[in-house]
Chain A
Amino acid sequence: AQKVTQAQTEISVVEKEDVTLDCVYETRDTTYYLFWYKQPPSGELVFLIRRNSFDEQNEISGRYSWNFQKSTSSFNFTITASQVVDSAVYFCALSDTGTASKLTFGTGTRLQVTL
Chain B
Amino acid sequence: AAGVIQSPRHLIKEKRETATLKCYPIPRHDTVYWYQQGPGQDPQFLISFYEKMQSDKGSIPDRFSAQQFSDYHSELNMSSLELGDSALYFCASSLAGEKLFFGSGTQLSVL
Interface residues of A (CB under 8 A from B): 35, 37, 42-47, 50, 91, 96, 98-108
Contact = CB atoms under 8 A, between A and B. Distances in A.
Interface string B71-103: 000000000000000001010101011111111
Interface of B: 31, 33, 35, 41-45, 48, 55-56, 58, 88, 90, 92, 94, 96-105, 107
Given A43-B88, A45-B90, A102 B45 contact: yes
13 contacts: A35-B100, A43-B105, A44-B102, A44-B103, A47-B100, A98-B97, A99-B98, A100-B98, A100-B99, A101-B31, A101-B55, A102-B58, A105-B43
Nearest to B94: A100
Given A37-B102, A50-B99, A99-B97, A43 B42 contact: no
B42 A107 contact: yes
Contacts, number: 58
A105 B42 contact: yes
Given A46-B102, A102-B33, 12 more contacts: A43-B88, A44-B104, A45-B105, A47-B99, A47-B102, A91-B42, A100-B98, A100-B99, A103-B43, A104-B45, A107-B41, A107-B42
